[in-house]
Amino acid sequence: MTDPVRWAIIGTAGIAGRTFLPSLDYVGGGEARVVAGRDADRTARFARDHGVQHAVSDYQEALADPQVDAVYVPLPNSMHAQWAMAALEAGKAVLCEKPLCSSLEETQRLLAVAAKTGLPMWEAIAFPFRSQTDRLLELISDGAIGEVREIQSSFHFTLRPGDIRLSAQLAGGALADVGCYPIRLARLVFGSEATGVRASQRLTDGGVDAETWGVLDFPGLQSQFRDRIFVSLDVPENFRLNRVPIQVAMVWAIQVFSGSVDGGPNFLFVDHAIRRRR
């Protein structure tokens, strides 16, 4: 029998207690060894409420624990790369919330550390592992809608005033927080990396992008493929979207455009496509 992976959680963010720890318990094969937080009372309460074995008030102390195999990092965006690097250098595997990095320089430094240590490191984006994504890619591979030429993605969060995702100091903004989803989807569907990008943003008074529009070009054998994205963050009094076309519970709505026989677009929404092919 394989020994369980022993985890340290760096920070007491809501997503750690709401998503990571219940998932760890559900999947099995791992245990929550220690949680580290700046507020000793809050960290102790988090450990008690979520069944974590130990609580400490020093991130580095958790990383130095010889009984820890892997580290989960759910800190604010601006701290992700710093503590992912620290965990790798401490000899631990890393699962870090997105965005893994906030700049090209951070990305290059973190990847260099990961390559040097040879340890596993993953950005915590869950949808590539869901059965719906497998089914989507299977349908596209089977030619259910022909050759995919364009993907249109829209992702919106409504936030409370003061949310850290609207903080420039904490590397907030729509592109950093939710832009990773449509971009990752396009990379999966097209099976390649983007070769060009054009983008525009609407910035808040605090200097973060409340909205980002972008077009990413991907290479194709016969034509240029395209991913059009719109991602946005707003507080209710500034909510600017007039309509949301479709919501799919627990996952997302996807529009994939392909060339069709009559020259018009075909639309594939994953759940409908699955039912159609049964």
Distances (CA, A) of 85 to 3, 57, 64, 108: 25, 19, 13, 11
The partner residues of 215 in beta bridges, in order of sequence, read 198, 228
Query: How far is residue 24's CA from residue 137's CA, in Å, rounded to a whole number?
Result: 26
Among 141, 138, 129, smallest CA distance to 184 is for 129
SS3 (DSSP) at 101: coil
CB atoms within 10 A of CB 231: 27
The single-letter code of the amino acid at 129 is F
Concatenate the DSSP letters of all residues of 235-268 into one string: -GGG---S------TTS---EEEE--TTSSPEE-
SS3 (DSSP) at 124: coil
Q: Which residue in the block uniquely carries the two structure tokens 């609580």?
A: 55
Displacement of CA 175 from its chain's centroid (Å)? 11
Among 126, 67, 108, smallest CA distance to 91 is for 67
Among 213, 235, 229, smallest CA distance to 164 is for 235
CB atoms within 10 A of CB 143: 9
Q: Which residues are identified as catalytic? A: 98
